[in-house]
């Protein structure tokens, strides 16, 4: 039998790869692992809400019941705050970033960005959702509170990033820039165990993932590319939870697209805490990630915390092919 390697054990082993590591990043990744287990417990119970008598926003014990995305947000913030391993947090659920005061003079050099529960509209119908996270080294003076510039860093500055997928099993996938590894939660022992070592994305795949319902709202070059995917008999899969859709592409190969539409002229997905962390993971696995305007996602300079971006992410050969379609068919290229 193979020896089980837990997430905590793996993170500590990997700390040795960084000779001057202080253990802070290790601590942060462990905090995220703990928060993921707490969120997982609640996500698994979501279907019981109606049985346990939640009609008016309170459960049978009289506690107020929160929406799961807010619950996930609160748990992640609590876990990160309590350990003092980071000096600030930015979340999809909070308009502004949250500075975290130093604990007992322990100043931290990291900030964390996350989407606590991505694709949360899927919860009501028992379909997969996920958490996305990214960790940056702070830019501001460590003697004071963190500042906005700590969060508005290009994705190329990410120190670590990953996601948790609450699916048929719960999986945590992360990278610190030296490959991508995946850990499956074993509910019987309550530990994430190493299950996918050094994940590599296939160069091509059989899947494309896009909200085809918006087809007529896409630019012509994107419609041409989607027609091409259909001509190739690629299989269309779209869950409506970016984590789940990108996860499939990472493991089986393919391309995930969220282009600009008439409604979302700059795309819908958020650059800082959705596109960047997933792009870092996919690039580390050998994939590519660009905007539909052909800029590498990780090279985009964020101007605001909740900035949106278009995205084409996945198998390297397929992203290159999509790029060729845009170059060939965009009106700018035609005239």
Report the catalytic residues: 63, 69, 92-93, 115, 117-118, 274
Number of residues that bind Mg ion (CB under 5 A): 2
242/132 Cα distance (integer angstroms)? 10
219/51 Cα distance (integer angstroms)? 46
288/279 Cα distance (integer angstroms)? 7
- Cβ atoms within 10 Å of 248's Cβ, excluding its own: 20
- Partner from ligand AHM, Mg ion, none binding residue 31, C-beta < 5-8 Å depending on class: none
Q: Which is nearer to ligand AHM, 13 or 215 (CB)?
A: 215
Q: Which is nearer to ligand AHM, 137 or 306 (CB)?
A: 306
- Partner from Mg ion, ligand AHM, none binding residue 241, C-beta < 5-8 Å depending on class: ligand AHM
SS3 236: strand
Q: What is the DSSP letter of 131?
A: E
Which residues here bind ligand AHM, judged by CB under 6 A? Answer: 92, 115, 118-120, 211, 240-242, 268
Q: How far is the CB of 140 from Mg ion (least distance, A)?
A: 26
Residue at shortest CB range from Mg ion: 118
- Cβ atoms within 10 Å of 95's Cβ, excluding its own: 8
Q: How far is the CB of 115 from ligand AHM (least distance, A)?
A: 5
37/81 Cα distance (integer angstroms)? 17
323/196 Cα distance (integer angstroms)? 30
Q: Which is nearer to ligand AHM, 87 or 250 (CB)?
A: 250
Q: Which is nearer to ligand AHM, 7 or 129 (CB)?
A: 129
Residues 94-133 that bind Mg ion (CB under 5 A): 115, 118
> Taken in order 204, 185, 112, 132, is the CA torsion positive or negative?
positive
The answer to whether residues 290 and 326 touch, using CB atoms and an 8 Å cutoff, is no
Q: How far is the CB of 93 from ligand AHM (least distance, A)?
A: 9
3-state secondary structure labels for all residues of 287-298? CEEECCCCCEHH
Burial of 174 (0-12, 13-18, 19+ CB in 10 A): buried
Q: Which is nearer to ligand AHM, 106 or 235 (CB)?
A: 235
The answer to whether residues 299 and 153 touch, using CB atoms and an 8 Å cutoff, is no
Q: How far is the CB of 205 from ligand AHM (least distance, A)?
A: 18
Q: How far is the CB of 29 from Mg ion (least distance, A)?
A: 21
- Partner from Mg ion, ligand AHM, none binding residue 240, C-beta < 5-8 Å depending on class: ligand AHM
Q: How far is the CB of 118 from ligand AHM (least distance, A)?
A: 5
Q: Which is nearer to ligand AHM, 85 or 118 (CB)?
A: 118
Q: Which residues contact 66 (CB under 8 A, 6 or more apart)?
A: 74
- Partner from Mg ion, ligand AHM, none binding residue 314, C-beta < 5-8 Å depending on class: none
Residues that bind Mg ion (CB under 5 A): 115, 118
């Amino acid at each position: 039998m193979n020896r089980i390697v837990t997430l905590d054990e793996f993170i500590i082993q990997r700390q040795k790869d960084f000779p001057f590591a202080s253990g802070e990043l290790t601590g942060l990744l462990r905090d995220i692992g703990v928060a993921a287990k707490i969120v997982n417990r609640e996500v698994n119970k979501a279907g019981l809400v109606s049985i346990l008598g939640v009609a008016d926003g309170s459960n049978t014990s009289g506690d107020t019941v929160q929406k799961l995305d807010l619950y996930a947000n609160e748990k992640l913030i609590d876990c990160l705050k309590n350990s003092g391993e980071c000096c600030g947090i930015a979340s999809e659920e909070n308009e502004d970033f949250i500075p975290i005061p130093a604990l007992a003079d322990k100043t931290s050099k990291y900030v964390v960005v996350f989407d606590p529960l991505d694709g949360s509209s899927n919860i009501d119908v028992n379909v997969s959702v996920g958490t996305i996270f990214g960790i940056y080294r702070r830019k501001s003076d460590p003697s004071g509170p963190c500042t906005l510039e700590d969060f508005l860093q290009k994705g190329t500055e990410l120190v670590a990033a990953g996601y948790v997928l609450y699916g048929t099993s719960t999986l945590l996938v992360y990278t610190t820039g030296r490959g991508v590894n995946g850990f499956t939660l074993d509910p019987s022992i309550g530990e994430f165990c190493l299950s996918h070592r050094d994940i590599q994305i296939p160069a091509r795949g059989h899947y494309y993932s896009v909200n085809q319902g918006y087809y007529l709202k896409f630019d012509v070059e994107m419609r041409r590319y989607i027609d091409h995917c259909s001509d190739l008999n690629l299989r269309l899969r779209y869950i409506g939870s970016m984590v789940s859709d990108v996860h499939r592409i990472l493991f089986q190969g393919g391309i995930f697209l969220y282009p600009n539409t008439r409604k979302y002229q700059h795309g819908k997905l958020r650059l800082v805490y959705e596109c960047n962390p997933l792009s870092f993971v996919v690039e580390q696995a050998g994939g590519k990630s660009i905007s539909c305007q052909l800029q590498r996602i990780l090279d985009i300079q964020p101007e605001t915390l909740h900035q949106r971006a278009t995205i084409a992410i996945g198998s390297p050969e397929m992203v290159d092919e999509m790029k060729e379609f845009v170059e060939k068919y965009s009106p700018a290229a035609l005239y």
